[in-house]
Amino acid sequence: MPDLVLKGKAIKLGDNISTDDIIPGRFAHLRSNLPELAKHVLEDTAPEFASKVEPGDFLVAGKNLGLGSSREHAPVVIKMSGVGAILAKSAARIFFRNAINQGLPVLLCDTDKIGDGDKLEISLTGGTIANLTSGTILDFGKMPPIMSAILEEGGLIPYIQKHKDFVITRSS
């Protein structure tokens, strides 16, 4: 289960970071060896990312993060790099769902208000992001209750191990 309060620094990326950017298709032969695969995270697009990221840091992107392939390995390698949560203006739907299924929060907010290296403190339950560097507070959008429930259990597999089924009330 993710911590209710997350702290770390922002590592900023641009718009339209595809799953091919996050983990290129040419490394498909490493997909059954996740520690090796994870060494190539964002290698073509942001080669400095892997050395900058420290446990608990935030990947902060622009719009349409994770467009493209359904490869769940994209959020997997981001999580393995130590990232505690992803912040973006918008995210492609399969990537969004995959990240939540991996227990990795994706918070949609105005990431223009966050600079590279800014120190952030995020209250997952409170729905706010405190930018300690700039002294501002940002809100992030709510996700459907089914996704919050999956995230609270730490991902889809722990959720299913616990509930053996999807448990929702029929409403948005």
Partner 1 sequence: MSVGKTLAEKILSLKSHGEAKAGEVVIADVDLAFVQDTTGPLTVRQFKESGFEALAKPQQAIIFLDHAAPSPAQQLSNDHILLRRFAEETGCRIYEVGDGICHQLVAENFANPGDIIVGADSHTVTAGALGAFATGMGSSDVAVALALGKTWLRVPESFLIELNGVFPRGVYAKDLILYLIGQIGADGATYKALEFGGDALAQITMPERLTIANMAVEAGAKVGLFPGDKITQDFLMEYGRGENYKPLYPDAEANYEQVIPVNLDQLEPMLSLPHAVDNVRPVTRVKGVKIQQAFVGTCTNGRLEDLAVAAEILKGKKRHLGTRLLIAPASRQVLIQAMEIGYIQSLVEAGAIILPPGCAACLGLHQGVLGDGEICISTANRNFKGRMGNPEAMVYLASPATATASAIRGEITDPRGFM
Q: Which residues bind partner 1 (CB under 8 A)?
A: 16, 18, 20-21, 24-26, 28-33, 44-45, 63-64, 67-73, 76, 90, 92-94, 97-98, 101-102, 144-146, 155-157, 160-161, 165-166, 168, 170-172
* 3-state secondary structure (DSSP) of residue 127: coil
Residue 80 CB, nearest approach to partner 1 (Å): 13
Task: Rank residues 67 and 120 by Cβ distance to partner 1 and give the closer one.
Answer: 67
* 3-state secondary structure (DSSP) of residue 66: coil
Residue 123 CB, nearest approach to partner 1 (Å): 24
Tokens of 52: 């900058």
In the chain, which ranges are continuous DSSP H helix? 19-22, 34-38, 49-52, 73-80, 93-101, 145-152, 156-163
Task: Rank residues 33 and 136 by Cβ distance to partner 1 and give the closer one.
Answer: 33
Task: Rank residues 52 and 166 by Cβ distance to partner 1 and give the closer one.
Answer: 166
Q: Regarding beta strands 58-60 and 5-12, do their DSSP bridges make them parallel or antiparallel, or are they unpaired?
A: parallel
